[in-house]
Amino acid sequence: MSWLDEVRFNDDGLVAAIAQDADDGRVLMMAWMNREALARTAELGEAVYYSRSRGRLWHKGESSGHVQRVRELRIDCDGDVVLLKVEQAGGIACHTGRRSCFYRRLDGGGWASADPVVRDPESIYGGDG
């Protein structure tokens, strides 16, 4: 049995994948992986996700250069969530130009930005962010 057979993919063939900074533990983002994306991630040592909106594999950093180098892959006790401990190239994981996709916090009954933009997304993606 392959290590991939121990992963519990959902009915759509996907598993939730959380990217965490390997040095300070900050959660950077959550995305989805199918079996091929997870296998490619292990093979390349860089995060490859499955884009539901594009319907294809997405090598993190393919357009931005903000590649995630995977130091360690883990799986939770139920086998249905993958944790990637990564080195985030450029210090930006979010398409909004922030370090983390989790940059908003509940404040006074609404979501407020708690983290600054590190780099203008227009300069990263040219309007395709």
Q: Which CATH superfamily is domain 3-123 in?
A: Phosphoribosyl-AMP cyclohydrolase (3.10.20.810)
The domain segmentation of the chain, as residue ranges, is: 3-123
End-to-end CA distance of the chain: 40
Tokens in use for 84? Answer: 């990637």
Structure-token pair, residue 2: 């392959």
Per-residue pLDDT of the chain (129 residues; tens, 9 = 90+): 899 999 999 999 999 999 999 999 999 999 999 999 999 999 999 999 999 999 999 999 988 889 999 999 999 999 999 999 999 998 999 999 999 999 999 999 999 999 989 888 787 777 554
How far is residue 85's CA from residue 47's CA, in Å, rounded to a whole number? 10
Q: How far is residue 122's CA from residue 119's CA, in Å, rounded to a whole number?
A: 9
Whole-number pLDDT of residue 129:
45
Order the strands of the 81-88 sheet from edge to edge.
Answer: 27-33, 15-21, 81-88, 68-75
